Amino acid sequence: MGDALLTLPSPRRLPEASAVLELLKPLTWFPPVFAFGCGIVSSGAPLADRWPVALLGLLLAGPLVCAMSQAVNDWFDRHVDAVNEPTRPIPSGRMPGRWGLWVALAWTVLSLLVAAALGPWGFAAGLVGIGLAWAYSAPPLRLKRNGWWGNLACAACYEGLPWVTAAAVLRDAAPATATLVIAGLYSLGAHGIMTLNDFKSIEGDRRFGIGTLPVRLGPARAGLVACLFMAAPQMVVAGLLMAWGATWQAGAVALLLAAQVALMARMLRDPRGLAPWYNGTGVTLYVAGMMVAAFALRAGAGS
């Protein structure tokens, strides 16, 4: 259906480097890179002789796996982007022919090679991340057609998986239970962040049967669900840190959450219009709480 709606230019023309870079969306690399940084911190591992591993992991999390996922998504969403974002590299013709697919495949291979260099833990995590990225965008699974499951897979790749991967490869061992719990909670909370990102593409998603939460629930209810997803896990994190004796860190997470709730109240007046504003304000506070929790784990919370 997509090819019928979108005529792609001749594959003989090479894409410009700027179009390739735009396809890989460097701005989207920050969340998984930051989450990997949280994993480095929470592991408590000394970096004196582990810098190569840390840097390779950061490369894998952002410029490789995340970038690959963006290319995969743009290729399989090219007909949707022709409605929502016609200036994107593929629908605009700046990424001609099947070059979008070739870039996605090339970055998949590069990601696997770098993941293998990180040892068994890194390779296993790389396989999971790559598998989820393709399952999210590509048929037959195309998880993004269901906003509940698709956002869960995407949130796991952006937050939980990089955090746990870093904690594993830095220690070359399974992460501590407390690390898995905190990373899992922040990953669940990121489900709400993914929902906010879907507000920008409601028209195209509705037209092509992509059941994001804004499409399924409408903007008002989807905005409320997003806020609940973001807030509830942070409440649990604050409670766990308090129970584990990390008092000031628990207080910091609670204060950051309180500030987010104030921002959420404004965003919910116009979720569709203010979702980008909240992404630049409330989400910043959300990820700050992640790092606070990571330092609490480093200090021994939950051990």
What is the tens place of the pLDDT at every residue in 81-110?
A: 999 899 999 999 999 999 999 999 999 999
pLDDT at residue 253, rounded to an integer = 98
Q: Which CATH entry fits the domain spanning 15-298: 1.10.10, 3.30.310, 1.20.120, 1.10.600? A: 1.10.600
- Reported pTM: 0.93
> Which pLDDT score is estimated for 49?
83
pLDDT confidence of residue 7 = 46
Residue 299 · residue 246 · CB < 8 Å: yes
Rg (CA), the chain: 19
In this prediction, residue 274 carries a pLDDT of 97
Say what the pLDDT of residue 14 is: 85
Domain ranges of the chain: 15-298
Sorted by sequence, the CB contacts under 8 Å of residue 272 that are 6+ apart come out as 199, 202, 214, 219, 223
Q: What is the pLDDT of residue 303?
A: 80
Please give the pLDDT value at position 8. 46
Residues of the chain with pLDDT under 70: 1-12
| 134-142: Cβ within 8 A, 24+ apart | 134/72, 134/108, 136/69, 136/72, 136/73, 137/69, 137/72, 137/73, 137/75, 137/76, 137/77, 138/72, 138/76, 139/76, 142/76
Which pLDDT belongs to residue 302? 77
